[in-house]
Chain A
Amino acid sequence: MPDLAFLAFLVVDGALAGAIYALAALAFVVVYKASRMINFAVGEWVMLASRMVASGLHGFGFGLGGALGLACVGMVALAMAFNRVVLRRLFSQSLLSSIMVTIGLGILLRGSAAIVFAGIPSRITSPVPLEPLVIRGVPVSIDKLVAAMIAGACIIGLGWFFHGSRTGLALRAIATDQQVAMAVGIDLHRHFAIAWALVGVLSVVAATLGSVVLGGGFGIGLLGLKVFPIVIIGGLDSLLGTIVGALVIGILESLTAGYIDPLVGGGFSHVASYVVLIATLLVRPYGLFGRPDVERV
């Protein structure tokens, strides 16, 4: 491949992967936006969702639609139960205890998934052709392209939900000031449940697209590790920032994998995003799109 075409291939391939990362990152951002809570277990949520889709396909013999439906029901049920049983009890405690409990749940999910889903294949096969499309000498894999388009549609839908719907307005109000939100008649716990249900659905979509494109199994949980550099770059609560952050990380990984990994014997592409994460924290601790808290007195 000529140099320029190789570069174009890496950029496009990275951006398409970035669109899927964005979905996982948004699962994180939705909860942060509504409750200032940091979910350290996004990777485990996505992993569990991918196992549920896979068992729908291979365990129950459903089609892709049925498997997705099954996983959505399962994940939303888990999310609502987690919110109702665990987080609601911790509501009056410090935020830190809620954050720690997400880590605990992550470990629990990882451990129990290995037992519950033992023996069930984890692959989710692509329903679209595998031969890449070649556009002006640059190969573009069709499954990645389709996955990125689905991810893009979900992101647009989510943007509308937050900025165009009544429930989205309420969630944004809760994120800014819970007292004000309650004072206008918003039921906080009901809206936290809605935010967590969204996490469940986003996990299923991210898991399915991620498994098809990046390979399934427990490795899909690694998607969770990409979330932190993305949201730090994006500024934690900005939808647009998250999308840009995800594309940056996707392309960065792809470029370092293409150019630097062969020189150092591989592996740098996995670390590169963390180098950027640390650099961002040093220069703009509130992210490229986040705003430092300014208060008018």
Chain B
Amino acid sequence: MNVPALLEIEDLHVSYGRIRAVQGVSLTVPDAAIVALIGANGAGKSTLLRTISGIVRPRRGTVRFLGEDLVGLPVHQIARRHVIHVPEGRGMLARMTVLENLRLGGFARSGHARALELDRVFALFPVLSQRRGQLAGSLSGGEQQMLAIARGMMARPRLLMLDEPSLGLAPLLVREIFRIIPRLTAEGTAVLLVEQNARMALQCAAHAYVLQTGRVVLSGPAADLLATPEVQRAYLGAG
């Protein structure tokens, strides 16, 4: 098993001033797998994603993607390596149309590749095809989340990082989003999923990491974590 993982993070430390947000995290994302990152607010989940995508620089540690260290690369260069971050709050360009948002997602690609990708994305999200001429700001919350994921998919990501995709959505839409996420891996995309909704995340992921105050306290196959008493007590609301 000497095939390098898609993403390998080793001993990562990130600080905001004197606050240590991430303290020595190591994690691995295999190719075309779903890996969940769960934990309470402020555990360092979003910081980890922001570090991988280059928005934040770590104090120490490496972020290897296909063997290459991403630390220090500018954000747009990391995106061009097909490492795509869909931030919490979706980052909609509300005054642009759905189609313009999607075109933008495929910005770094040729016109031909973009057109092909658009067909694939519309097949995954038929509702966006119907709304293509509408302004993104006029979509419902669930549709905006789909657009955010779809815009990420336009770059044909090898790694798609989703930050709280279920945030603020009605239960029915949460289920819809979690029905779509596994289908993304069929396109050859690995997903690193940050979620408050631990149950849904653990049900759809292959592996999972539990973060607590910037450290990995538990990790392993998602199904095992789902059965762990500590996880059930702390994150799944079981007595």
A residues sitting closer than 8 Å to B (CB atoms) are 166, 169-170, 172-173, 176-177, 179-188, 291, 295-296
User: Is B60 an interface residue when CB atoms closer than 8 A count as contact?
Assistant: no
Question: Does chain A have a CB within 8 A of B155?
Answer: yes
What residues on A are CB-neighbors of B80 within 8 Å? 185
Are B93 and A176 neighbours in the complex by a CB distance under 8 Å?
yes
Q: Name the distance in Å between B72's Cβ and chain A's nearest Cβ.
A: 15
Q: Is there a chain A Cβ closer than 8 Å to B95's Cβ?
A: yes
Q: Is B79 an interface residue, CB under 8 A from the partner?
A: yes
Is A183's CB under 8 angstroms from B93's CB?
no
A183 close to B96 (CB less than 8 A): no
Complex: A166 Cα to B111 Cα, angstroms = 9
- A187 contacts B76, CB within 8 Å? yes
Which bucket holds chain B's interface residue count? 20 to 34
The distance from the CB of A187 to the nearest CB of chain B, in whole angstroms, is 5
Least Cβ–Cβ distance between A214 and chain B, in angstroms: 35
Residue numbers in A under 8 Å from B24 (CB-CB): none
Q: Is the CB of B76 within 8 A of A296?
A: no
Contact status B95-A176, CB under 8 Å: yes
Known: A187-B76, A296-B137. A179 touches B107 (CB 8 A): no
Residue of B nearest to A182 (CB): B75
How far is B105's CA from A173's CA once the two chains are assembled, in angstroms?
Answer: 11
Q: Which residues of chain B are near A182, meaning CB under 8 Å?
A: 74-76, 79
Kindly report which residue of chain B lies nearest to residue A187, judged by CB atoms: B76
> Are B107 and A180 in touch, CB under 8 angstroms?
no
Q: Which of B74, B93, B137 sits near A180, CB closer than 8 Å?
A: B93
CB atoms of B94 and A184 under 8 A apart? no
Closest-by-CB residue of A relative to B82 is A185
- B85–A183 CB distance below 8 A: yes
Q: Does B55 contact A (CB under 8 A)?
A: yes
A176 surroundings in chain B (CB, below 8 A): 93-96
Contact of A186 among B55, B95, B107, B151 (CB under 8 A): B107
Which 5 pairs of residues, A with B, have the shortest CB-CB distance?
A185-B108, A185-B79, A182-B75, A180-B91, A185-B80
- Is the beta-carbon distance between A166 and B107 smaller than 8 angstroms? yes
Which residue, of B53, B84, B94, B107, has the highest number of chain A Cβ atoms within 10 A? B107
List chain A residues, Cβ under 8 A from B79. Answer: 182-185
From the candidates B75, B94, B103, name the one contacting A183 in the complex (CB within 8 A): B75
Complex contact B55–A173 (CB within 8 A): no
Pair A179/B55 contact, Cβ less than 8 Å: yes
Q: Return the chain A residue nearest B151 by Cβ.
A: A184
Write out the residue numbers on chain A whose beta carbons fall within 8 Å of the beta carbon of B75: 182-183
- List 10 A-B residue pairs with CB atoms under 8 Å apart, sorted by A's residue number: A166-B103, A170-B104, A173-B93, A176-B95, A177-B91, A179-B87, A181-B104, A183-B87, A184-B107, A185-B107
**CB < 8 Å: which of B74, B96, B155 contacts A184?**
B155
Cβ-based interface call for B100 (8 A): yes
Q: How far is the CA of A57 from the CA of B104 in the complex (A)?
A: 43
Task: Report chain B residues within 8 Å CB of A296.
Answer: 94, 137
Specify the chain B residue showing the minimal Cβ separation from A178.
Answer: B75
* B34 nearest CB across to chain A (Å): 21
Mark contacts of B88-114 with chain A using CB atoms, 8 A cut-off: 1 yes-contact digit, 0 otherwise: 000101111000100111011001000
Considering the chains assembled together, what is the distance between the CA atoms of A295 and B93 in angstroms? 11
Q: How far is the CA of A186 from the CA of B91 in the complex (A)?
A: 15
Contact of B93 (CB < 8 Å), options: A166, A177, A187, A291: A177
Residues of B within 8 A of A169 (CB): 100, 103-104, 107
Q: Which residues of A contact B85 (CB under 8 A)?
A: 183
B104 touches A188 (CB 8 A): no
Q: Which residues of A contact B108 (CB under 8 A)?
A: 184-185
- Across the interface, name the chain A residue whose C-beta is closest to B108: A185
Complex Cα–Cα for A188 and B84 (A): 17
Residues of A within 8 A of B91 (CB): 177, 179-180, 183
* A185 and B76 form a contact (CB under 8 A): yes
Residue from A176, A182, A295 whose CB has the most chain B CB atoms within 10 Å = A182
Chain A residues with CB under 8 A of B107: 166, 169-170, 184-186
Residues of A within 8 A of B96 (CB): 172-173, 176
Name the residue on A nearest B53 (C-beta): A183
Contact B104 A173 (CB under 8 A): yes
A188 to chain B, nearest CB (A): 7
Closest B residue to A184 by beta carbon equals: B107
* CB proximity of B16 to chain A, nearest CB, Å: 16
Q: Known contacts A169-B104, A170-B104; is A185 also within 8 Å of B93 by CB?
A: no
- B154's nearest neighbour on chain A, judged by CB, is A184
Do B155 and A185 touch (CB < 8 A)?
yes
CA distance A181 to B104 in the complex (A): 8
Q: Which residues of B contact A173 (CB under 8 A)?
A: 93, 96, 104
